[in-house]
Structure 1
Amino acid sequence: MLPTGKSVLRDAVSGQRRLLAGAAFLGSVHQGGEALVPVIVGIVIDQAVSTGSVGALVRWIVVLAVVFGALSMSYRFAARAAERASEQAAHGLRMRLARRVLDPRGGAEAGRLPGALVNIATGDAKRVGVVNTVLPFAVAGFVGLLVSAVSLLRISVPLGLLVLLGTPPLLWLTHLVGKPLERRSSVEQERAAHASGVAADLVSGLRVLKGIGAEAAAVARYRRTSQDSLAATLRAARAHAGHDGAILALTGIFIAVVALVGAHLAANGSITVGELVAAVGLAQFLLGPFQIFAWVNGQLAQGRASAERVASVLAAPPAVTSGSGAPAGNGAGRVRLRGVTHGSLDALDLDVEPGEFLGVVAPDPAAAAHLLDCLGREADPSAGTVELDGVAYTELDPHELRGAVLVAAHDADLFEGSLLDNVVTVSRDVDRALTASAADEVARTLPDGVHTLVAERGRSLSGGQRQRVALARALAADPPVLVVHDPTTAVDAVTEARIAGELREVRQGRTTVLVTTSPALLAVTDRVVVLDGGAVGAQGTHAELVHANPGYRSAVLS
């Protein structure tokens, strides 16, 4: 069954039931103790102050001190347990979201910017977790109301019935008041997530924007997105203020009615002075539980909205189906495409022989991107098949497949850590990978060599340095089939020529596909395939195509 907002919320609560039960019990002790304080004060007035009994005064003051001590300690540990339940539930949701986003079948990122996913995994997960903070206090508030009602029934049946019968309709009204807040909170989170995604997108592409002079357009785009987010936030804030104001008004009227009825009974002599003090104190105490209910209702409204957004990611359909097979351990590395239609690709037939060093030239960048999607199984073609060593991709487990076929994207990101940490994936010949990618030159220019820390996304390195480190990471993995997309667009010609020769040598005997228009890289390939109109338009060696194919010369040498 696909996750829904209700199931996400239910799982977040049920997974912490032991902590919540303990927090609810301790919170109930606190609220029950708070409700008993005005009752004890009323007893002190009737049995000690009115009679002048010092013994009774001392006795009830001791009782009052014990009650204060119990309610103080119970609140402290109830809050601890509730907060722990909240953090554990939020952490569990973040782990579930991370597993879904990292699922080799993909699909979670469809239609969402990376920043939006981060916002859901942080802000929304936290809001769902906060539900565990408020639920124990909702139970405690109800217990406080129950103790107040019972106490008022002992003082006066009309007062007790007023509280017991008046509370349900009041709670129903608070639920209705919370509906607009829930809707606007959902919109607020959606707009905030989109703004975060746009901001992350702009920051990651800042150099490109400056290079093409598009800063003004980018700023205008973010300004519109930010203003939309601000407007949604203000609407949610107004809904929150209206919600709290309405709840306070309703509870204030209810408490005033209770106090007036108590005063009338005291004036008629139906209750004593101490009982009147207790009744007024209980009426004032009722403000506490009702404020708790208002707080709980607001947090539940926001939690439900966030749970829907979390569920939308968890329930996102996978981009590809999952097979159960695994590539042969000693597979030759033969890749075959037959009649592949996907995006710009149109009935593409392509054979990559085992151990071949193949170049693919795609004058249309979209065709290159769609070919990489199919080879890396980021998407399944709408028609045709892709095979590895005679086995269709659809029959293989995506995780196992990507261990055999590695697609090194042109815009691969680095992570925060040392340069060496970014390269080492498994126990391989790292030095050889660093040399073949010319990343050893990058290491020599850094203060601590390969142990120099790299900033998030590799921003402390230049574009060419990032490319070389990313290529070293792909080579260190040493997969049976390696697909590399434009690995040298940001390096100088001398370094590119060195990488071309080293790359050919380090991948000797392993299947390698270079999707590029670099003449230096294409010159060392066994064969070059040119995509034209989504299908193979020409093929041959680099020298043959340069000599005989004008379109190839235009794409590669211009």
Structure 2
Amino acid sequence: MNTVLRDAVSGQWRTVSAASVLGAAHQAGEAAVPLLIGVVIDEAVRTGATGRLAWWIGVLALVFVVLSLSFRFSLRCGEAASHRAAHAVRTRLACRVLSGVRGRLSGELAGIATGDAQRVGAVNLALPTAFAAVVGLLVGAVALLRVSAVLGLLILVAAPLLLTAAHFLGKPLERRSDAEQDRAAMASGVAADLVAGLRALKGIGAEDTAAARYRETSRSSMAAAVRAARARAWLDGSMLTLTGIFLAIVALVGGQLAIAGDITVGQLVAAVGLAQFLLWPLTVFSWVNGMFAQGRASAARIAEVLAAPPAVPPGTAHLPAIAGHVELRGVTSGTLRDVTVVARPGELIGVVARDPADALSLLAVLSRDVDPTAGTVTLDGILLSTVDAAELRAALLVAAHDAELFEGSVLANVRDGGSRVAEALAAARVDDVARALPDGLDTTITARGRSLSGGQRQRVALARALAADPPVLVVHDPTTAVDAVTEVALAEGIRRLRAGATTIVVATGPALLAAADRVIFLDTGRVAASGTHADLVTSDDDYRAVVLS
């Protein structure tokens, strides 16, 4: 937790320091204003000299200009440091999540990367504010010491007591903020999973059960939020009461000193003005302490994710020039049992799984989401488990069936995939998609491509994978939402564009399988048959039932 906060602050120390200095200048100027007003009053009462009066009024105007500019740029620097630190934390979390985090819902991780990261970043706004408040308090105390030693000492003694009270009163808020963020992240995770699986839930008639689960989670989140809000209100109310009592004492003592003649009228006005000014630095400690409490709680949650062990151990080996020889030898993983599959360089092979779970298990070991419990998976004779993750993704790309599109134009989604954009667009028949859209390839699509039909999304996603042009490409069911004629065209496009490169198509579409050099049939987690699509359709009843049903 401390490391997360320390990194968030140290990474922005220049901007935080600038915000702190400017904030201190603003507070010093605010403290100087009542003193200068007191001087103006004393000059007017004692001498009545117009020149000196005009001089001090000019000084007062200059102080107002300085403190106004200082406040503006201090806030700008503080906000910049806050947002940059939050972005840095989100980037670290994203990199960590990409390597796999077990036991966390995707929505929960999204909540941590947004709400918790923002609260950690906000510490960079709270720090300059706290520093400025301390400087304001010290300047105000010194100014009161010059007006009256009694008033100055009163401030210096009471301020540490108020800071200590703010610290202890903020403890409940820290605990309840942690619980609030935890429940909110869980509710987000459940909601995201329910939305993603809505079709499946409707298919099995489980909408009511899912809604009841979310309702319970949401109510728990609401209760935690209410408890945190009550803790925040208790902290703010308690500190406001304590500071109000303290300032009333300051005003009472100052009035008695003025009546006794120990201070002048101008000094009395300055003392009252300083007492009013001190209300902000005293009350701001409540806000700052609340921000620190929430930041510490969020930092603890972020630290848990960053410290979580990866789903698979990281590899460090580097890949030489890649020929594209993929071999699974005696692999047991998930539903797979002793599976041996070899894809030779430049070969296009099809994989048909009678049970969809077998296909998912195969894709998981090829993308190295998991390592097999038995057997080996190699690329050009090098174990995938030993290869650096970034190099592995560049060499062996697994294009999932449910790959998401990004918000932006159709062309931008494909261009993000790689360099062979024009050929990929043609091979995936995205030109047909473009003709049906209002602005063609420049049409902006919504997040996850929801503004496109299922078939349109599949073709754009396939084009993106083909544009990447990796040495080894694995595609999963790229034609389930298109008609038979389009499937034939896509199969021809894949074979043409991937000529000379290793390609594995995990699918049950006859046109795709007919374009493959050979097909491997998985049944009950094992390799049941191997051969060309035409031979297997003729000789294997189980295979024929799966691909032609």
Q: TM-score if structure 2 supplies the norm length?
A: 0.89
* 1:489 aligned counterpart, secondary structure: coil
Matched residues in 2 for 1:515 and 1:362: separation? 8
Q: CA deviation at 1:334?
A: 1.8
Q: Cα 1:381–1:504, aligned 2, differ >3 Å: closer, same or farther?
A: same
* 1:446 aligned counterpart, secondary structure: coil
Q: CA deviation at 1:175?
A: 0.9
Matched residues in 2 for 1:42 and 1:428: separation? 75
Match of 1:91 among 62, 80, 87: 87
Q: What is the CA deviation profile of residues 94-145 of structure 1, one whole-angstrom value per residue up to 9, with x for unaligned ones? A: 443444445xxx125x444444444333333332222222222211211121
Match of 1:31 among 22, 27, 30: 27
Moved more, 290-299 or 86-95: 86-95
Matched, 1:250 2:242: yes
Q: Cα 1:452–1:212, aligned 2, differ >3 Å: closer, same or farther?
A: farther
| Amino acid corresponding to residue 170 of structure 1 in structure 2 | L
What root-mean-square deviation, in Å, do the aligned CA atoms of Structure 1 and Structure 2 show? 3.0
Matched residues in 2 for 1:502 and 1:271: separation? 93
Q: Cα 1:286–1:420, aligned 2, differ >3 Å: closer, same or farther?
A: closer
* 1:484 aligned counterpart, secondary structure: strand
Q: What is the CA deviation profile of residues 39-72 of structure 1, one whole-angstrom value per residue up to 9, with x for unaligned ones? A: 3444455554367666665554444434333333
| Amino acid corresponding to residue 80 of structure 1 in structure 2 | R
Moved more, 194-203 or 171-180: 194-203
Matched residues in 2 for 1:145 and 1:548: separation? 89
| Amino acid corresponding to residue 343 of structure 1 in structure 2 | G
Match of 1:74 among 70, 84, 92: 70
* 2:237 aligned counterpart, secondary structure: helix
Moved more, 319-328 or 172-181: 319-328
Match of 1:381 among 368, 372, 376: 372
Q: CA deviation at 1:215?
A: 4.9
Q: Cα 1:61–1:541, aligned 2, differ >3 Å: closer, same or farther?
A: closer
Matched residues in 1 for 2:52 and 2:440: separation? 81
Q: Cα 1:249–1:549, aligned 2, differ >3 Å: closer, same or farther?
A: same
Q: CA deviation at 1:174?
A: 0.2
Q: What is the CA deviation profile of residues 239-269 of structure 1, one whole-angstrom value per residue up to 9, with x for unaligned ones? A: 2111111110121122223333334444555
Q: CA deviation at 1:164?
A: 1.1
Matched residues in 2 for 1:66 and 1:504: separation? 76
Q: What is the CA deviation profile of residues 362-404 of structure 1, one whole-angstrom value per residue up to 9, with x for unaligned ones? A: 2332222121011112222233221111111123222222222
Matched residues in 1 for 2:533 and 2:275: separation? 90
Matched residues in 2 for 1:298 and 1:22: separation? 23
Matched residues in 2 for 1:438 and 1:272: separation? 88
| Amino acid corresponding to residue 9 of structure 1 in structure 2 | L
| Amino acid corresponding to residue 32 of structure 1 in structure 2 | A
Matched, 1:107 2:103: no
8 A Cα contact 1:130 1:303, kept in partner: yes
Segments of structure 2 that go 5 or more residues without pairing to the other structure are none
**Counterpart residue number, 1:444:** 435
**Counterpart residue number, 2:311:** 319
Q: Cα 1:74–1:487, aligned 2, differ >3 Å: closer, same or farther?
A: closer
8 A Cα contact 1:423 1:430, kept in partner: no
Matched residues in 2 for 1:438 and 1:462: separation? 14
Output aligned runs, 1:497-508, within 5 Å. 497-508=488-499
| Amino acid corresponding to residue 520 of structure 2 in structure 1 | V
| Amino acid corresponding to residue 512 of structure 2 in structure 1 | L
Q: What is the number of equivalent residue pairs in this alignment?
A: 548
Q: Cα 1:169–1:445, aligned 2, differ >3 Å: closer, same or farther?
A: same
**Counterpart residue number, 2:122:** 130
Segments of structure 1 that go 5 or more residues without pairing to the other structure are none
**Counterpart residue number, 1:292:** 284
Moved more, 285-294 or 511-520: 511-520
Matched residues in 1 for 2:63 and 2:442: separation? 60
**Counterpart residue number, 1:12:** 8
| Amino acid corresponding to residue 352 of structure 2 in structure 1 | V
| Amino acid corresponding to residue 406 of structure 1 in structure 2 | L
Matched residues in 1 for 2:493 and 2:74: separation? 64
Matched, 1:172 2:159: no
Moved more, 492-501 or 465-474: 492-501
Matched, 1:526 2:517: yes
Q: Cα 1:436–1:285, aligned 2, differ >3 Å: closer, same or farther?
A: closer
**Counterpart residue number, 1:537:** 528
8 A Cα contact 2:396 2:472, kept in partner: yes
Match of 1:366 among 352, 357, 364: 357
Matched residues in 2 for 1:45 and 1:97: separation? 58
Matched, 1:426 2:426: no
8 A Cα contact 1:82 1:136, kept in partner: yes
Matched residues in 1 for 2:66 and 2:345: separation? 76
Q: Cα 1:39–1:375, aligned 2, differ >3 Å: closer, same or farther?
A: same
Q: CA deviation at 1:227?
A: 3.0
Output aligned runs, 1:43-442, within 5 Å. 43-46=39-42, 48-49=44-45, 57-58=53-54, 60-102=56-98, 106-108=99-101, 110-205=102-197, 215-331=207-323, 333-424=324-415, 425-428=417-420, 430-431=422-423, 433-442=424-433
Matched residues in 1 for 2:81 and 2:470: separation? 43
* 1:354 aligned counterpart, secondary structure: coil
Matched residues in 1 for 2:65 and 2:421: separation? 66
Percent identity for Structure 1 against Structure 2 = 62
Moved more, 519-528 or 388-397: 519-528
Matched, 1:468 2:464: no
Q: TM-score if structure 1 supplies the norm length?
A: 0.88
Q: CA deviation at 1:414?
A: 1.6
Matched residues in 1 for 2:74 and 2:540: separation? 78
Q: Cα 1:147–1:510, aligned 2, differ >3 Å: closer, same or farther?
A: closer
**Counterpart residue number, 2:501:** 510
Matched residues in 1 for 2:33 and 2:342: separation? 84
Matched residues in 1 for 2:493 and 2:273: separation? 85
8 A Cα contact 1:408 1:482, kept in partner: yes
* 2:170 aligned counterpart, secondary structure: helix
8 A Cα contact 1:49 1:57, kept in partner: no
Q: CA deviation at 1:161?
A: 2.2
Q: What is the CA deviation profile of residues 489-525 of structure 1, one whole-angstrom value per residue up to 9, with x for unaligned ones? A: 1122332244334434443443222222334433443
Matched residues in 2 for 1:417 and 1:31: separation? 46
**Counterpart residue number, 1:488:** 479
Q: Cα 1:32–1:478, aligned 2, differ >3 Å: closer, same or farther?
A: closer
Q: CA deviation at 1:289?
A: 0.7
Moved more, 293-302 or 33-42: 33-42
Q: Cα 1:301–1:548, aligned 2, differ >3 Å: closer, same or farther?
A: same
Matched residues in 2 for 1:390 and 1:293: separation? 62
8 A Cα contact 1:128 1:306, kept in partner: yes
